[in-house]
Amino acid sequence: MLRKHRNHAEQTMASGSHAGRRKFETSTIKERAEEYFPEMVEIRRDIHRHPEIGRNEVRTSALIRKKLEEYGVDAIERPVPTAVVALIHGARGPGRCVALRCDIDALPVQEETGLPYTSENPGIMHACGHDMHASMMLGAAKILCGMRERFAGCVKLIFQHSEDTLPGGAKELVEKGVLENPHVDAIYGMHVLPDAHRAGQVGFHIGPITTSVDLFDFTVSGRGGHGSQPQNTTDPVLAAAQMIVMMQQIVARRVDPMEMAVFSLGSIHGGDAPNVIPAEVKFGGVTRAYSESVRSVIKEQVQAIAKGIEAASGNTVHIHYADGYPSAFNDKELMDLAAEAVRKELGEDAVVPMPDPMPFSEDFSFYGKLGGIPSAYLMLYAGHEGELAPLHNPKCAVREDVMPAGIRTLVSIALEFLK
């Protein structure tokens, strides 16, 4: 059940002077974002110092709940132990519901940034910017709580657990009904992106914006033996090698050259001595695509190749194929609305058309695919402290001074959708 809270913003306004109320009601998003920026930096650094892996975000989610209560959201829900969902109702009456989503989990990475607020948890780091995501969303929550008079309907804030750990927290939340009560009409997400030149601008791309991701592991089992007598073995090493070569041909010969597909082998293990043919070889990797049709072709061809090698080599091939995240798709109408909101709030130069989608995957895709609602995913160019390092790198350190731009982006989009 949703836990109701008194409207903190209304309490403050009721107790203040008429002049104070008028100043608060007429203040701009920019003014509020700049005023709250020091607090959001403090929150961000607190979360960064204490990173938590997916489904273990106990301290992080508790901090988020505490802040949301302080800001005066109308309701707080905890659909799973480490996720937080909040509602902010507009004062103009009933209307549509827009969801804003951020992720809050960290990665199993040993931090090497040298920042004064570096991770205090060995082997765990916010190397993907989720600490920034959570802090910016809290900033947006605080502003929206003070701007209820400017919109009808409601904003649903989803602080999602376990984005970086399969099967992903988004799927779990959708299955638990996070997009209902009230029903969500559209959902937006945003991810920081390290960049050597841009900081505080927002990237827009219509259509597929992230790839799907599927993981596979193969075990080739048969009869091993002495390296001098290969005829008495089924040679799982040779069978595995043949499979690997043939599967690389899937992208080259089974996928339309105009489509995007990735098939990467990341591990292979078999044998302990050069003169002994092992009885078992294991290998695995990852596949990515933008379209579901290509994703299906890869899966079908992998299984067909495995069956063919089994028949030809006399080995047994066991496949563990883990369906990961689908590709996220950006709805054109939502993207146009967001671009207009960002232009009004941050200026024309803040809107950056992205010629290509991103090569990584994100479980944000489940909200649109499973929930059956339009979705849009934006990229916040976040500069970098020192030499540029990519996401998931131990030296990744995006700039905090882009946070006001991110907060203003989230708030302006919500208000534009609900105006």
pLDDT in tens, the chain (419 residues): 455 554 443 443 343 444 454 555 679 999 999 999 999 999 999 999 999 999 999 999 999 999 999 999 999 999 999 999 999 999 999 999 999 999 999 999 999 999 999 999 999 999 999 999 999 999 999 999 999 999 999 999 999 999 999 999 999 999 999 999 999 999 999 999 999 999 999 999 999 999 999 999 999 999 999 999 999 999 999 999 999 999 999 999 999 999 999 999 999 999 999 999 999 999 999 999 999 999 999 999 999 999 999 999 999 999 999 999 999 999 999 999 999 999 999 999 999 999 999 999 999 999 999 999 999 999 999 999 999 999 999 999 999 999 999 999 999 999 999 99
- Side chain identity at residue 146, one-letter code: G
Q: Which pLDDT score is estimated for 13?
A: 38
Q: Which pLDDT score is estimated for 3?
A: 53
Q: Which pLDDT score is estimated for 24?
A: 56
Is residue 81 reached through a cis peptide bond, with omega within 30 degrees of 0 on the bond before it? no
Q: Which pLDDT score is estimated for 242?
A: 98
Cα distances (Å, whole numbers) of residue 12 to 8, 37, 247: 6, 20, 64
Between CA 210 and CA 142 the distance in angstroms is 30
- Give the CA radius of gyration of the chain: 25
Q: Which pLDDT score is estimated for 25?
A: 61
Q: Which pLDDT score is estimated for 197?
A: 96
Q: Which pLDDT score is estimated for 23?
A: 55
Across 32-153, the runs of DSSP E, i.e. the strands, are 75-77, 84-89, 97-103
Cα distances (Å, whole numbers) of residue 285 to 123, 300, 322, 327: 23, 16, 11, 18
Q: Which residue is listed with tokens 């910016």?
A: 136
Between CA 85 and CA 407 the distance in angstroms is 18
Q: Which pLDDT score is estimated for 6?
A: 43
- Phi, psi at residue 222, to the nearest 5°? -165, -140
What's the DSSP call for residue 350?
Answer: G
pTM: 0.93
Non-local CB neighbours of 344 within 8 Å, separated by 6+ positions: 412, 416
Q: Which pLDDT score is estimated for 5?
A: 52
Q: Which pLDDT score is estimated for 19?
A: 47
Sign of CA dihedral 148, 149, 151, 153: positive
Closest CA to 245 of 189, 283, 205: 283
The H or E element spanning position 107 is none
Closest CA to 380 of 44, 116, 136, 48: 136
Q: Which pLDDT score is estimated for 4?
A: 58
